[in-house]
Chains A and B, each alone.
Chain A
Amino acid sequence: MKVTTRGSFPISYESLRVKQKVRGGVHHQGPNEIGVLGVSGIVKMIKAVMMMNTQGKPRLAKFYDFLVRCLPVEKQQELIRGVFSVLSSRPENVSNFLEIDSLFGPDSRLVYKHYATLYFVLVFDGSENELAMLDLIQVLVETLDKCFSNVCELDIVFNYSKMHTVLDEIVFGGQVLETRSDEIMKAVEEISKLEAASNSISLVPKSVSGWRGGR
């Protein structure tokens, strides 16, 4: 498949931080940033979870880092593209890790995994363990797989809220909350059931069967 890279985007974390305008046109002032980071000097957390397809189209993006969340959406989009342009230039059979300070600030690491047409990306800082993060992606994918029986890109696109439900069970406020996929499944199913009960129309089918994304 032809991979289209839309040029490399010369953005850097620093430049993004200089003039950030909070959505809604509210200026964000320095002291608050320090407030978040100032607790112990570093924010120990997962900074972002992203999924994008091999053409660079974002399929799911969730940021946990306050600084990134304060960026206008356009800048967040640039971050996603920046990540993609790095990922797409990685050769086969290399490590799944990247140091990505240039986009997400000092000591930022990135772990990615490539499944079929999708990249799963986790961005975090030095307090996390890269191999464990790789397994966290595995947990996420295994769970999605159970949720949608053989997950593929389209499940993710069309079941946006369910995706987020799953993700929220795993990563909560930037911390790993749950890693047992059975447990996650149970929680998600319970929610779906209740949602279905509260709503006469079932919005989220159990699975999309009949085809698969070629895993």
Chain B
Amino acid sequence: MEQLKTIGRELAMGSQGGFGQSKEFLDLVKSIGEARSKAEEDRIVLSEIDILKRKLLEPDIPKRKMKEYIIRLVYIEMLGHDASFGYIHAVKMTHDDNLLLKRTGYLAVTLFLNEDHDLIILIVNTIQKDLRSDNYLVVCAALNAICRLINEETIPAVLPQVVDLLNHQKEAVRKKAIMALHRFHRKSPSSVSHLISNFRKRLCDNDPGVMGATLCPLFDLITEDVSSYKDLVSSFVSILKQVTERRLPKSYDYHQMPAPFIQIKLLKILALLGCGDKSASEIMSMVLGDLFRKCDSSTNIGNAILYECIRCISCIIPSPKLLEAAADAISKFLKSDSHNLKYMGIDGLGRLIKISPDIAEQHQLAVIDCLEDPDDTLKRKTFELLYKMTKSSNVEVIVDRMTDYMISINDNHYKTEIASRCVELAEQFAPSNQWFIQVIMNKVFEHAGDLVNIKVAHNLMRLIAEGFGEDDDDADSKLRLSAVESHLQIMSEPKLPSLFLQVISWVLGEYGTADGKYSASYISGKLCDVADAYSSDETVKGYAVSALMKIYAFEIASGRKVDVLPECQSLIEELLASHSTDLQQRAYELQALLALDARAVESILPLDASCEDIEVDKDLSFLNGYIQQAIESGAQPYISERERSCMLETTDYHSQDHHEVPSHALRFEAYERPKPSSLPTQASTELVPVPEPSYYSEAHQPISTSSVSERESSEIKLRLDGVKQKWGRPSYQSSTSASSTPPQAANGTSSHPDVGVGSSSLKPRSSYESKKPEIDPEKQRLAASLFGGSSTSRSDRKSSSGGHKPAKGTASKPPKENPIPVQPPPDLLDFGEPTATSVTATDPFKELEGLMDSSSQDGGSTDVMGVLYSDAAPVTTTTSVDSLLSELSDSSKGNPGTYQSQTSKGPNSKEALEKDALVRQMGVNPTSQNPTLFKDLLG
């Protein structure tokens, strides 16, 4: 209220021009001050923006008026509203000759713009001019602007002048010039690397203020490279000594301390220099000892220096005497009533504890007090200290405290941090696994489960599974039982974090029925409850279903009759129709498993085998029979990668197919520069053209700035060069630009010049030859999109069916394939199809793996696919699935269940393939080959 009154009085003054501000501005400030809600404030500001927009459009605005408008703009921006419409006026104002206006312009510009703003370029010229001004205040204003506005690209424009200013007669200018140079160093170290000696030189400046300013860049430089500044140790020590002995002018005193900020900066530098350096530490120990004695601990700034001394001592190799002095200072801090000093004391203790661990003993009580303190900052600092001093002897107490605190706070950011610290400590020092699981994990998971890393959950599961690691089975099963019991207890609580539920489900699935204490129907009922209560969480549901599967598997394996609970049955039915393919698959697996006999089930899900290694037949020897069959019926034999790489072009893209298709990932490594001289064959192995267009479009979409895209596009251009020179065909990219998105088109045009170069470099070759490699990638793409890489391209088989005679293959192919390059580039296909096909392709294998062991799914699957696909060359997806599954069922004694799941998958893949066909037909590829292909595919 008092404030409002004063505003009123001020207004009276203001209207008389007391502040030199207009009534409008005072009104604005006043109404903002009185606004009672954010909405009201916004309304006021928006109307003010309207007014300003209008006024700024008026012609011939008097300068004084303009200055006021700009101040109003600044005010608006401070309130969080965009005032970019007026930036240009602020920029203009910096050009003014009038110092007041110029300074206002600079002020506004430094507040409005950042280094990367487009308007900066308009100011550089002004800055250059002002740096040359006779008036040192103008120079200062320009230097100030430099600090905030100059970016990497504009540094060279002002650098020479700033360097000149290092020798300016006014110390204020020298000081600021140093700071500007420091700024440049931070922005772009390389731009000023040759000027670093200047900093050393300025350290000897007559003016202590300039010397003090030099410490800032030196601190940075020393942080980066300590060793080249070791020679300065004694200089810094002597400066510090002189400062403490009050050799500086009286004006540098602050609260009776001589130049405290310089002292602090020096101590920081000494800490860096003395780190791990015995001799340097000895040089500085004298002055440090003096400081401890001289520092006035009754003032804030004196304590600041003391604290900095402690910090320095914790970095260097201190003498016992210094250590003692530091410990004394810390205990003074801790005993103080001031929270600030306590905070510093705790911080100092945390630093010193690293070099003398027993120092904390004497401060136990003080630390405990801080832990109980209502001041949150202090509490957190103390927890940090505790975290640092945790040992196996005190871990229980500390972690207990930490979890309690974690539960009590709402700040998610800090909660996450403290939760991860708890986990880290518990993992490191846990006295027993029992304690680890019961107290920590359950507690942490229950209250911050969504905040901790998923790895922690996996660690916990592994710990429960592996037990103590020794052959103490009894203890292990006790541990598991206790885990199961505690989890069953916690489960009933509402709203548990997802991660915790996953752990619970897993544990119950593995060990819920292990001891016979709980019946399968009890555990499965609980699991169904979980899946039911958290029905929106698919991961939890997945875990729950897998757990159910294990429970039933164990039941079946032990020969008991399984009664599937009605709620469980309905859950399965619900999931069979789930939108999530993962859940669907799990449900099908579960359903299939229920129909199997005991022996099969036992081999699929053996009891307590979560830690066992799973043997994977990497050679896929069980497929031998099938392959034999295929070869006999006319399929081509598989050629290993090594063999293929020996061959010439024809086979090259086989290997490329093989490389790319399993991953379907974008390739980010740059293309190698083409080697124009020799061996076209070798070069073509390196070119991997398939993923390239998609990479471009990806890379280009987010870019809109001119500067960045320039840089980016130059990179891209480089790569494109390689491609162009290799392909050497202008029509390639004209078709790209015709059919694709604008960014790509722009890219294509930007690199046109290179095409000429490229094709000219290709001249020696026959045009026929140079045309050939550009066909191949297209074909590959086609092949990849058609088959998802499952076989070498079909056309290839046709053309070179007689065997892989490379020379002949190349010669005979181009005429046949000529229609293909005319097709639009298959970018669209590349995006759309591999995913579609891969879905259909992955599923059966996942299923296969899932049947082998549900817990490890991804491990070899891609591998298997890769090998299998490149192996069974012309085999269509569906048939390969069939064969695989039949092989599998052979190995697992022919269970009907496998077939069931397989048939249910069948339509799916068929559907996807049909969709593929449709896409292909509509989109890009109306060649007559396709229909037969699909007939082939779909049987």
Contacts and interface: CB of A to CB of B under 8 A. Distances in A.
A160 B104 CA distance: 10
Nearest to B83: A73
B82 interface: yes
Contacts of B209: 178, 180, 183
A28 B308 CA distance: 38
A26 B704 contact: yes
A17 interface: no
Interface string B304-320: 10011001000000000
B301 A132 contact: yes
A36 B251 contact: no
A53 B413 CA distance: 26
A95 B219 contact: no
Interface string A43-76: 1100000000100011011100010011011101
Interface in B224-258: 224, 251-252, 254-255
Most buried by B among A95, A127, A161, A198: A95
A24 B118 contact: yes
Given A70-B116, A97-B377, A176-B261, A205 B19 contact: yes
Interface string A24-51: 1011110110011001100110000000
Contacts of B84: 23-24
Contacts of B254: 135, 139, 179-180
Given A94-B339, A161-B104, A26 B80 contact: no
A43 B702 CA distance: 27
A61 B21 contact: no
Contacts of A88: none
Nearest to A53: B3
B117 interface: yes
Interface string B9-42: 1100110001111000010010011001110000
Contacts of B186: 36, 39, 43
A202 B64 CA distance: 11
Contacts of B260: 132, 135, 179
B252 A180 contact: yes
A39 B189 contact: yes
A24 B117 contact: yes
Given A26-B118, A173-B179, A179-B261, A201 B340 contact: no
B375 A95 contact: yes
A58 B103 contact: no
A97 B378 CA distance: 9
Contact of B704 (A27, A57, A157): A27
Interface in A84-107: 90-91, 93-99, 101-102
Contact of B220 (A1, A26, A40): A40
Given A23-B113, A26-B118, A154-B10, A102 B374 contact: no
Given A102-B414, A158-B21, A175-B182, A62 B342 contact: no
A135 B303 CA distance: 11
A158 B308 contact: no
Tell me which of B75, B183, B186, B342 has the highest count of chain A C-beta atoms within 10 A of its own C-beta. B186
B705 interface: yes
Contacts of A194: 99, 135, 137
A131 interface: yes
Given A29-B703, A180-B252, A194-B135, A73 B82 contact: yes
Contacts of B325: none
B112 interface: yes
Interface in A159-206: 159-161, 164-165, 168, 172-173, 175-180, 182-183, 187, 190-191, 194-196, 198-199, 201-205
A66 to B, nearest CB: 7
A149 interface: no
Q: Which of A53, A69, A98 has the most CB of B within 10 A?
A: A69
A134 interface: yes
B327 to A, nearest CB: 19
A102 B413 contact: yes
Contacts of A1: 1
Contact of A29 (B26, B38, B77, B705): B705
A131 B10 contact: no
B380 interface: yes
Interface string B731-775: 000000000000000000000000000000000000000000000
Contacts of B268: 127
B470 to A, nearest CB: 40
Given A130-B343, A180-B252, A195-B103, A157 B304 contact: no
B454 interface: no
Given A60-B78, A179-B261, A173 B3 contact: no
| Interface residues of chain B: helix, strand, loop or mixed (majority) | helix
Given A131-B301, A203-B20, A101 B413 contact: yes
A129 B308 contact: yes
Contacts of A43: 186
Contact of A211 (B6, B137, B220, B704): B6
Interface residues of A, number: 96
B100 A99 contact: no
B882 interface: no
A26 B304 contact: no
A24 B114 CA distance: 10
A214 B3 CA distance: 9
A23 B10 contact: no
A85 to B, nearest CB: 11
Nearest to A1: B1
A95 B378 contact: yes
B179 A172 contact: yes
Contact of B29 (A39, A61, A66, A157): A157
A198 B414 CA distance: 53
A58 B413 CA distance: 25
A158 B29 CA distance: 9
A213 B209 CA distance: 34
Interface in B796-823: none
Contacts of A91: 374-375
Contacts of B385: none
B135 A97 contact: no
Interface stretch (B144-152, B578-586, B652-660): B144-152
Interface string B69-103: 00100110111111110010000000000111101
A61 B135 CA distance: 29
A198 to B, nearest CB: 5
B20 A180 contact: no
Contacts of B179: 172-173, 175, 177
B29 A191 contact: no
Nearest to B77: A73
Contact of A205 (B20, B79, B708): B20
B14 A158 contact: yes
Given A24-B84, A102-B411, A97 B175 contact: no
A153 interface: yes
A180 B38 CA distance: 39
A165 B261 CA distance: 21
Interface string B700-715: 0011110010000000
A60 B71 CA distance: 12
Contacts of B381: 99
A181 B635 CA distance: 90
A73 B6 contact: no
Contacts of B252: 180
Contacts of B185: 39
Contacts of B406: none
A121 interface: no
Contact of A177 (B6, B213, B340): B213
Contact of B75 (A31, A74, A160): A160
Can you list the 4 inter-chain pairs with the closest CB atoms, starting with the nearest? A77-B80, A131-B304, A95-B339, A203-B20
Given A131-B344, A132-B308, A191-B99, 11 more contacts: A6-B37, A36-B186, A43-B186, A132-B261, A132-B304, A135-B300, A154-B10, A161-B104, A177-B175, A178-B209, A208-B18
10 contacts: A29-B703, A35-B152, A39-B220, A62-B111, A94-B339, A99-B381, A130-B340, A199-B98, A208-B13, A211-B6
